[in-house]
Structure 1
Amino acid sequence: MACFFRRTIAAKLGRTLQQSEDAFIPALSAVPVFKKQQTADFKLSISPLRIRGILPSSGDIQLQTEGLASRLEQDSVVEDISAGRGMINFKVNRKLLVQKMLEPFGKDEDEKFVLNSELFNTLKRGTTLVEYSSPNIAKKFHAGHLRSTVIGNFIANLKQCLGNDVIRMNYLGDWGMQFGLLGAGFSKFGCQEKLKQNPLQHLFEVYVQVNKEAEHNEDMMQAARDFFRQLEQHESEAVSLWQQFREITVDEYQHVYKRLGVHFDIYSGESFHHHQAQEVVQQLHSRGLLKTSEYVTVCDGIQSVAGMTHSKYRYAWFSVYKQSHLCYYYCYHYCCFLEPLWMHIFQFAASVFVFLFKTDKSQANHFHQLFHILLAMGHSWADRCEHVPFGLVLGMNTRRGEVVFLEDVLDEARARMLHNMNQSKTTKEMDNPEDTAEKVGISALIVQDFRGALQSDYKFDWDRMLQAQGDTGVFLQYTHARLRSLIRRNEGVEAVIFDPSLLLEQTSIAILQHLLRYDEVLYQSAQDLQPKHLVNFLLKLCHLIASAHRELPVKGSSQDVAQARLRLFSGACSVLANGMRILGITPVDKM
């Protein structure tokens, strides 16, 4: 697709300036499509060439731009070259644009076409461990974990699409004093029969009851401490009950993940590493990085009190509370990095990236400091670790206004979407309307979440989220379903020879110009891990497709014209579906 034109223009520049054509790939970009008709397809920025010494860094940049543009010759691929403000614009042959852009479609190559882009050659590829979601076991899946789950899933999908071997890890909150409370509470308030019928709801009720009891009953608090001590000492009865809580929780969570289209290769957790806490402290002591006072542990002279770290310090470590046993705050994060699986990956993979999603942006400083500690401990791979911070969702609640669990949100999104579909005159008959409503509702949730920068908080809005005409997930699904319907109604039309000269209207060209940017959008997303670039690209594509539906009818056109237009719509549909899947959205064929 775009790589043919980008490579051709880069080769032209390379011959003119006697440089490798690879030197010009990063400076070339497709021109975004705006409302006004545009003629240029690619632009070359002169500033990066000056910075890199390819062009002289002194002198008038505009004269330099015009001088280089005058030296570049037109040919059968590039039919017009002009100088802008610090930019050189390139217009490619229109018939060739249609031919090359739509070539992959209809050859079963549309799922892989974008991987051929030379832009991705500069990206490091290798084993990528993506850790996300991380709910707390023995509790219903709170809606607050939705952002972590969908963001992590997007990045895992993106990395996999770009050729990485991706390992998806869910690091569960499955250890700590709360399980002392739950274990003690279950012995008093729990019921095995209720646990079988509705596991997480019953555990939630038990947890609420035991917390209320512990507020004014020291005996209950002591029972909780005793149960947790039994867990740490691996006493069989306590471990068996805890294991039951963990297994039924993971099983329940997997049902929710299936609804979201999310899966994990590994379920890890804090319980895997609690035994390593003392060993980690000893390692820090042996390296002279740790000092201990009566109430707080200090790492390299930097202290963290009750988990509140001070950003002015280079390192932060975990608090050591004066209790009957030591409790190391966030020690598990360090131990997790030393897990055998991780060590195996770090040791043998040529290129590794780690993304941590369990916490929002308030914990960004903690992870920054943690990576510094890993480096100070001699783990050189720590500079390949990355925490991706995200903002909060404000105002998320259901009609009942109760504690918001994710299943409640998914149920309500499905119910509202099903109601909207039933009210719409354009809704098609389908075998399973509830399943379609579920997929479209989840699409709406994801797109609302991904519209802005991940670090930003956003206000949850049911009505705006589910609009069919706005820039929403519903609009993406509606456009895809409409294209699939068009393709189904015209099966067999593609039997004739494709003629690119029949797609030279500006409406067709605008779609193809926009598709030129797809690899750049994925490249940008891979650089900063922000899904907004892909979301906005797909929404713009849907608006262009809507115009083409009105101006380029398939029905009633001659067979060769209908076939050409159908090829255009098929190509746009393939890119739309591909991008939606990367976002974590399952495209629907009818709605």
Structure 2
Amino acid sequence: MAACSFRRSIASQLSKILDLPPENLIKSISAVPVSKKRLIPADFQLSIDSITEDSSSDHSAQDLQLRAQMLAEKLKCDAVVTEISTGPGTVNFMINRELLAKTVLQQVLKDGSEYGIKSELFSTVPRQKTVIEFSSPNIAKKFHIGHLRSTIIGNFIANLKVALGHQVTRINYLGDWGMQFGLLGVGFQQFGNNEKLKSSPLQHLFEVYVQINKAAEDENTKKLAKDFFRKLEEHDEQTLSLWKQFRSFSIEEYIRIYKRLGVHFDEYSGESFYQEKSQEVLKMLEEKGLLQKTIFGLQLLQCFLSKCRKGTGIVDLSEKKDLSSFSTVMRSDGTSLYITRDLAAAIDRMNKHNCDTMMYVTDKSQSNHFQHLFQILKLMGYDWAERCQHVSFGLVQGMKTRRGEVIFLEDVLDEARSRMLQNMASAKTTKEIENPLETAEKIGLAALIIQDFQGLLSSDYQFSWDRALQSRGDTGVFLQYTHARLHSLEQMHGNEQLTDVNVACLQEPEAISVLQHLLRYDEVLYRSSQDMQPKHIVSYLLTLSHLAAVAHKTLLVKGSAPELAQVRHNVVMWLKSVWGTQGVLRYGSVRPALELLREYAPSG
């Protein structure tokens, strides 16, 4: 990794002065972000605060500045570092310009799709086995828009971990059990149609569910629903056969939608898998003295406040064992609840996969549920509960189609494609293409994902179609536009790469800015891998897009001297190589449109 070789060189000189091992200094030396307003007169900087032994205490800006100046005076320029300066609490290093260009470009050419991944920043990060549960819709219901964030965030985390060498198992934990299936079963018996179930399962089951809910006020209907679910739990052959159809057809429909999103799963699981094992969990809780029945006194009062019924099973989670905090794990009739099945699922997964980490990607409203889940696992004696993690996210607000409020994900995907088609048709630069629907689908998906990934995952955000689909500005459309422009230039001037170029031809400020930005990629990747936030990579790629746009206007290939044109063209190809294989284009399933997007790419 290009940045690594420069960090090592700087760390080597610093270690002699600071009497610290070079490896202890590597992560304290960071590439300087490229400013949009001006060029930063340095490529790397060392934060004085990060190497101060008493870094826990507060240091005045004046004190840090003085320390930076004292350290800078002891350092010397060499064949790698050509200039040393100080900033607010930092020592700054300028790299030899020709060496910078040569090292970065050679590294990009050598590493290709693994550029950034081989960085020594990851050398101390152990390769792990991770189980990630995400998406998890309820079967027999259309894919609700609320599951979109879980799907694309979980997919981002899985893709990123795989790229970094981790072993990942992707699990879709379906909501496929519970009293609602008693109601749906009765509804299908009254209003269902087998042909409609086969041709459009989720739509038809949704219609049936709406109809039966209207009839559910009738006591007889409620009784029939309870009887149906009781038969389901007793594994009545006819009842179970109908439920299996609901589940099978639903999964087929989900797989089709996941294909549109570029998402796949290694395992389809569900609550139904743990119906019997949840009873084993209740037995374990009872044997360990953790299961309490709400019968009298404070227990009954607490239970009343949480709308429990007499005889409900709970686990006391309070430190003082005064029931100030508890979790309900069993109904009064002895049947399990959602959290009981989650306990059974977690234990089963750990036994099956023996993973290092187990991640759950759901919205932040379920934070309390997962806090209770992990606490109960610890109380049961499972130390690995410490390695379980809830990746929470906020809600999307204001997402509407032209027909009104959006309910289903497929409506959103269709709307994005439709609006993008309209934008393409009205654009003056649009050319005729073989499959405009496919192009619009990919650009629309990129627009949705990038708008979602620009902020903190835990934050709610206001969705805007107009903002998401803009071809200029910080949008997914702009990212695809940039990739298309690079691809067009490559096609126009050929794709032969030189392994040895005259880097003296790459000393313009615009070229140096691109090279400086490429230096930061491993740091950005490392940061995203640590906090699981895609916004770092999105921000990096958007800045790269703007730098590429400036370079496109100033570093012309067409009309330049042959040697200069060839060098610049090689930069285009290497930049496209990084672009097409890294960042959100890789980790977020935003597939570069390549030849499908040439209609956006002007010549030049």
TM-score, scaled relative to structure 2: 0.91
Q: Is the 8 A contact 2:498 2:570 kept in 1?
A: no
Matches of 1:311 and 1:463, distance apart in 2:
50
Matches of 2:401 and 2:468, distance apart in 1:
14
User: Against the structure 1 CA distance between its residues 327 and 295, is the aligned structure 2 distance closer, same or farther, given a 3 Å change threshold?
Assistant: farther
**1:63 Cα deviation from its structure 2 partner:** 2.7
Structure 2 unmatched ranges of 5 or more: 309-313, 320-324, 598-604
User: Against the structure 1 CA distance between its residues 432 and 6, is the aligned structure 2 distance closer, same or farther, given a 3 Å change threshold?
Assistant: same
**1:403 Cα deviation from its structure 2 partner:** 5.1
Structure 2 residue aligned with 1:356, among 360, 375, 388? 360
Matches of 2:34 and 2:75, distance apart in 1:
24
Write the letter of the residue equivalent to 1:287.
Answer: K
* CA displacement, residues 288-321 of structure 1 (integer Å, 9 cap, x when unaligned): 222111499979x9999359x9999466422544
Give the aligned partner of residue 70 of structure 1. Answer: 73
Give the aligned partner of residue 587 of structure 2. Answer: 582
Q: Is the 8 A contact 1:105 1:567 kept in 2?
A: no
Matches of 2:316 and 2:467, distance apart in 1:
38
**1:122 Cα deviation from its structure 2 partner:** 2.9
User: Against the structure 1 CA distance between its residues 313 and 512, is the aligned structure 2 distance closer, same or farther, given a 3 Å change threshold?
Assistant: farther
Q: Is the 8 A contact 1:361 1:390 kept in 2?
A: yes
Q: Is the 8 A contact 2:317 2:376 kept in 1?
A: no
**1:479 Cα deviation from its structure 2 partner:** 0.4
Give the aligned partner of residue 183 of structure 1. Answer: 185
Matches of 1:295 and 1:416, distance apart in 2:
61
Write the letter of the residue equivalent to 2:289.
Answer: G
Structure 1 unmatched ranges of 5 or more: none
Write the letter of the residue equivalent to 1:249.
Answer: S
User: Against the structure 1 CA distance between its residues 231 and 19, is the aligned structure 2 distance closer, same or farther, given a 3 Å change threshold?
Assistant: same
Does 1:26 find its partner at 2:27?
yes
Secondary structure of the structure 1 residue equivalent to 2:358:
strand
* CA displacement, residues 65-109 of structure 1 (integer Å, 9 cap, x when unaligned): 2221111121101111122221110111010110111113445x3
Mapping for residues 108-187 of structure 1, pairs under 5 Å: 109-187=111-189
Secondary structure of the structure 2 residue equivalent to 1:115:
coil
User: Against the structure 1 CA distance between its residues 304 and 71, is the aligned structure 2 distance closer, same or farther, given a 3 Å change threshold?
Assistant: farther
User: Against the structure 1 CA distance between its residues 30 and 310, is the aligned structure 2 distance closer, same or farther, given a 3 Å change threshold?
Assistant: farther
Matches of 1:449 and 1:534, distance apart in 2:
13
Mapping for residues 163-312 of structure 1, pairs under 5 Å: 163-215=165-217, 217-294=218-295, 305=306
Q: Where do 4+ consecutive residues of structure 1 move more than 6 Å?
A: 52-59, 295-299, 301-304, 309-312
Give the aligned partner of residue 328 of structure 1. Answer: 337
User: Against the structure 1 CA distance between its residues 316 and 477, is the aligned structure 2 distance closer, same or farther, given a 3 Å change threshold?
Assistant: farther
Matches of 2:428 and 2:317, distance apart in 1:
60
Write the letter of the residue equivalent to 1:439.
Answer: K
Does 1:542 find its partner at 2:550?
no
**1:12 Cα deviation from its structure 2 partner:** 1.7
Q: Is the 8 A contact 1:180 1:225 kept in 2?
A: yes
Structure 2 residue aligned with 1:422, among 411, 417, 425? 425
User: Against the structure 1 CA distance between its residues 90 and 496, is the aligned structure 2 distance closer, same or farther, given a 3 Å change threshold?
Assistant: closer
Give the aligned partner of residue 322 of structure 2. Answer: none
Write the letter of the residue equivalent to 1:47.
Answer: D
Secondary structure of the structure 1 residue equivalent to 2:401:
coil
Matches of 2:49 and 2:425, distance apart in 1:
55
Identical pairs, percent: 51
Mapping for residues 501-512 of structure 1, pairs under 5 Å: 501-512=504-515
* CA displacement, residues 529-583 of structure 1 (integer Å, 9 cap, x when unaligned): 1111111111111001000000001111122111211222223222322112112
**1:473 Cα deviation from its structure 2 partner:** 0.3
* CA displacement, residues 206-233 of structure 1 (integer Å, 9 cap, x when unaligned): 1111111012x11111111011111111
TM-score, scaled relative to structure 1: 0.93
Give the aligned partner of residue 102 of structure 1. Answer: 105
Does 1:466 find its partner at 2:469?
yes
Matches of 2:56 and 2:563, distance apart in 1:
47
Secondary structure of the structure 1 residue equivalent to 2:376:
helix
Q: Is the 8 A contact 1:143 1:404 kept in 2?
A: yes
User: Against the structure 1 CA distance between its residues 6 and 456, is the aligned structure 2 distance closer, same or farther, given a 3 Å change threshold?
Assistant: same
Write the letter of the residue equivalent to 1:239.
Answer: L
**1:328 Cα deviation from its structure 2 partner:** 2.2
**1:175 Cα deviation from its structure 2 partner:** 0.5
**1:21 Cα deviation from its structure 2 partner:** 0.8
Q: Is the 8 A contact 2:446 2:476 kept in 1?
A: yes
Answer with 519-528 or 429-438: which moved more. 429-438
**1:197 Cα deviation from its structure 2 partner:** 1.9
Give the aligned partner of residue 410 of structure 1. Answer: 413
Give the aligned partner of residue 327 of structure 2. Answer: 317
Q: CA RMSD in A?
A: 2.6
Structure 2 residue aligned with 1:43, among 38, 42, 45? 45
Matches of 1:311 and 1:89, distance apart in 2:
55
User: Against the structure 1 CA distance between its residues 72 and 305, is the aligned structure 2 distance closer, same or farther, given a 3 Å change threshold?
Assistant: same
User: Against the structure 1 CA distance between its residues 191 and 17, is the aligned structure 2 distance closer, same or farther, given a 3 Å change threshold?
Assistant: same
Q: Is the 8 A contact 1:297 1:318 kept in 2?
A: no
Count of aligned pairs between the two proteins: 580
